[in-house]
């Protein structure tokens, strides 16, 4: 089944697919996830601290984003906004949608992690003379991020794969490049499996990094003792 | 130095503090005793504003505060004159022993790091933990954690330390090391307000005792009289029950 021609296609396409993987998929993931974390921490903190107005805004944002498909969100921003005269290039459009989308999910993860920090940590901060903000920043948030690390890693890995949806708004990431090669060579089975394996490779690296990260974090800072 | 007058607090319609008065002079060691649910812990928490009292007056160093409507600024100011030791230690889990002690100094009191570390080491040395500076709470026993908490309280050089059942979460064999540190502080003249169930300790270390029940003070006075010749029938009953249960346990 795997003849010489197919081998040559696979070997030739590996380079062609992995390059946009390194120059598009990974930057898209890293930039979007970093922005998502900023959004998520903010959306989680205003809920945790019960900041009036902001809390409701955060709930609304999470409700809308989690309740609509990522693909629809991509289309609204990239194909829809031009109707209002707002034209955004494919890559920044993808970054905007992925960070806002991921931010909603991560906000829930971080909120849950904040709530898992015992109330006594805040009280101990107060009794050491620290303010709410000081205690949150130096005591509660670092502990919450430690708890949130595994589920956030999970989200990151999911996001690497979700970036393939950006092909739909003309971002030339790995999946779009694969589609083009398929159109030229008519070898969909082999090539889609190949790109799938490359995603698997990326995810595996991230999983290893997660393990290493968890080992570092888990050495100390666990509750009680 | 510190006086509380007619402090009141309800949770969802249940009155937990029904007008309690407490007086503390500099150097006093006041033991607050009473059965569970008598409001002892709530009293302590209201005094450090972890709970907001519904009403009552506090006089601290001659300054008068209405507890029902005290400003955040005054709360922050008063907290810097006091320290609190919790039943379950509440050490910062993400900080080492020395960092637990220096955190409040550096962040809240703006002490330089070098000076804070120096103060912190001295405080940890004092509670017998000079070999545990860089240990995380999860690496310390309960008794060690509580001693770090006491060091954290000491380092702030407070005018008074509140202790909320400091040994209740500890195994009996670890209780002694915490009590002996507290005894040492008392001998050095530290002003302390201690909610405790350790009658033996209260009887020998405190100079004043307050017995509370159902949100009220049943009897208060100097410890010698309180433990040897209690006035109120209820106090006698309580002391009797406690000593019996100790005999049974022993």
Domains of chain A and any CATH numbers: 4-218 (1.10.3720.10)
Indicate the number of domains in chain B: 1
- Tell me what the mean pLDDT of segment A184-188 comes to: 95
Q: Provide mean pLDDT across the span B231-246.
A: 85
> B71 or A1: which carries more pLDDT confidence?
B71
**Residue A126: closest CA among chain B residues belongs to which residue?**
B79
Residues 125-164 of A with CB under 8 A from B: 125-131, 134, 138-139, 142-143, 146
Say whether A131 and B50 touch across the interface (CB within 8 A).
no
Whole-number Å distance between alpha carbons of B227 and B232: 11
Question: What's chain A look like in SS3?
Answer: CCCHHHHHHHHHHHHHHHHHHHHHHHHHHHHHHHHHHHHHHHHHHHHHCCCCCHHHHHHHHHHHHHCCCHHHHHHHHHHHHHHHCCCCCHHHHHHHHHHHHHHHHHHHHHHHHHHHCCHHHHHHHHHCCCCHHHHHHHHHHHHHHHHHHHHHHHHHHHHHHHHHHHHHHCCCCHHHHHHHHHHHHCCHHHHHHHHHHHHHHHHHHHHHHHHHHHHHHHCCCCCCC
Residue B67 counted as domain residue: no
- Check pLDDT > 50 for residue A60: yes
pLDDT digits (tens, 9 = 90+) for B33-54: 999 889 999 999 999 999 999 9
Residue in A123, A124, A134 nearest the CB of B107: A134
pLDDT value, residue B240: 86
Q: How confident is the model at residue A225 (pLDDT cuts 50, 70, 90)?
A: very low
Model-level pTM? Answer: 0.88
| Residue B150: inside a domain | yes
**Domain annotation covers residue B32:** no
CB contact under 8 A, A121 and B88: no
Partner B contacted by A63 (CB < 8 A): no
pLDDT band for position B247 (50/70/90)? low
User: ipTM greater than 0.90, yes or no?
Assistant: yes
Domain hosting B128: range is 82-158
> Does B174 map to a domain?
no
Mutate to test the interface with A, among B81, B83, B94, B149 (most CBs of A within 10 A): B94
Q: What is the pLDDT of residue A96?
A: 98
Compute the distance between CA of residue B22 and CA of residue B2 in angstroms, rounded to an integer: 8
User: What is the chain A residue with the closest CA to B47?
Assistant: A127
**CA–CA separation, A160 and A203 (whole Å):** 7
């Amino acid at each position: 089944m795997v003849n010489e021609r197919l081998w040559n296609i696979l070997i030739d396409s590996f380079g062609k697919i992995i390059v946009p993987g390194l120059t598009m998929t990974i930057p898209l993931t890293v930039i979007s996830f970093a922005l998502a974390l900023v959004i998520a921490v903010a959306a989680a903190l205003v809920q945790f601290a019960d900041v009036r107005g902001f809390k409701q805004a955060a709930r609304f944002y999470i409700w809308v984003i989690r309740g609509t498909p990522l693909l629809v969100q991509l289309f609204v921003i990239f194909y829809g906004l031009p109707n209002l005269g707002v034209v955004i290039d494919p890559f920044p459009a993808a970054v905007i949608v992925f960070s806002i989308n991921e931010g909603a999910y991560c906000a829930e993860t971080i909120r849950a992690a904040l709530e898992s920090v015992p109330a006594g940590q805040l009280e101990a901060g107060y009794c050491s003379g620290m303010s709410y903000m000081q205690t949150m920043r130096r005591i509660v948030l670092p502990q919450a991020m430690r708890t949130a690390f595994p589920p956030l890693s999970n989200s990151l890995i999911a996001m690497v794969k979700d970036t393939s949806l950006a092909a739909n708004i003309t971002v030339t990431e790995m999946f779009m490049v694969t589609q083009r090669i398929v159109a030229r060579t008519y070898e969909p089975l082999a090539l889609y499996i190949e790109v799938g394996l490359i995603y698997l490779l990326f995810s595996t690296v991230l999983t290893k990094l997660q393990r290493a990260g968890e080992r570092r974090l888990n050495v100390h800072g666990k509750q009680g003792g | 130095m510190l006086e509380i007058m007619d402090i009141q607090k309800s949770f969802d319609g249940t009155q937990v503090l029904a007008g309690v008065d407490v007086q503390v002079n500099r150097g006093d060691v006041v033991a607050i005793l009473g059965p569970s649910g008598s409001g002892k812990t709530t009293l302590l928490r209201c005094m450090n504003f972890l709970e907001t009292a519904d009403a009552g007056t506090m006089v601290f160093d001659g300054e008068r505060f209405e507890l029902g409507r005290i400003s955040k600024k005054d709360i922050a100011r008063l907290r810097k004159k006091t320290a609190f030791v919790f039943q379950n230690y509440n050490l910062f889990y993400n900080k080492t022993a020395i960092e637990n002690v220096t955190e409040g100094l550096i962040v809240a009191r703006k002490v330089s790091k070098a000076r804070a570390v120096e103060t912190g080491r001295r405080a940890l040395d004092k509670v017998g933990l000079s070999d545990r500076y860089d240990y995380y709470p999860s690496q310390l026993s309960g008794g060690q954690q509580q001693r770090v908490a006491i060091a954290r309280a000491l380092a702030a050089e407070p005018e008074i330390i509140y202790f909320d059942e400091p040994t209740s979460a500890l195994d009996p064999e670890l209780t002694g090391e915490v009590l002996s540190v507290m005894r040492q502080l008392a001998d050095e003249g530290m002003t302390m307000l201690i909610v405790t169930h350790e009658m033996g300790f209260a009887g020998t270390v405190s100079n004043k005792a307050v017995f509370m029940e159902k949100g009220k003070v049943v009897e208060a006075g100097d410890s010698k009289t309180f433990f040897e010749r209690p006035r109120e029938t209820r106090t006698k009953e309580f002391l009797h029950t406690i000593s019996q249960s100790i005999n049974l346990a022993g």
